[in-house]
Amino acid sequence: MKYLMIAAMVLALSLCALAEEANFSLDRCTILNNAEDSTAPSKIALAFTLPDSLLDKDIIYAELSGWLELHNDGPDSLVELYFMPLMADWPDGQYDYTGIEAITDSLGAGNYTFRLSDSSAFDVDITRFIMDVSDSVRVNYGLIGTVDLLGESNIRLSEALGEQLQNSVRVKVTYK
């Protein structure tokens, strides 16, 4: 058993040594708020271009990494970021909060939950989504994320936050 574990570790390390990483930024990020319902959670629409060098590659892991600075009176509150793929292009300014729901896929692409009192950094696993795009199973129209303050009234994100997120969020893909 001991030798089997050592062999498995050596195999895992050799696979990691052969893997490469691509790291790129967002093309666009827009914050959408419901104009008719101020209690509805804010949405984050993200668009990024998957480099051609990743097409038909064996995707090992992919994530959205960044930070979301949130302020609330309840530091023990939990915040969930939940991302879903978009099924059509969303020209800037064309879709509003309710309109973008018409092009949102119901399948999740990744989620991450954090406590407000903890770091506001997040790493959302989007491996399945990137695999599907790389294998031409899905077209990459971007992702739509919901920011939900669990169990409480929601935090309404400033639309100006979109530019800060566009500059700070990175897509990291490990592949071979």
Q: Compute the distance between CA of residue 107 and CA of residue 151 in angstroms, rounded to an integer.
A: 23
What is 20-175's CATH number, 1.20.1510, 3.30.70, 2.60.120, 1.10.1870?
2.60.120
Separation between Cα atoms, residue 98 and residue 102, nearest integer Å: 8
Residue 34's CB is within 10 A of a number of other CB atoms, namely 16
pTM for this model (two decimals): 0.82
What pLDDT does residue 10 have?
A: 62
Cβ-based neighbours of 135, under 8 Å, separated by 6 or more: 56
* 23-37, 84-98, 133-147: range with lowest mean pLDDT: 84-98
Task: Give the pLDDT of residue 114.
Answer: 75
Average confidence (pLDDT) over 150-162: 79
Dump pLDDT digits (tens) for 40-81.
Answer: 888 999 999 999 999 888 999 999 998 877 766 566 777 888
pLDDT, average across residues 124-144: 94
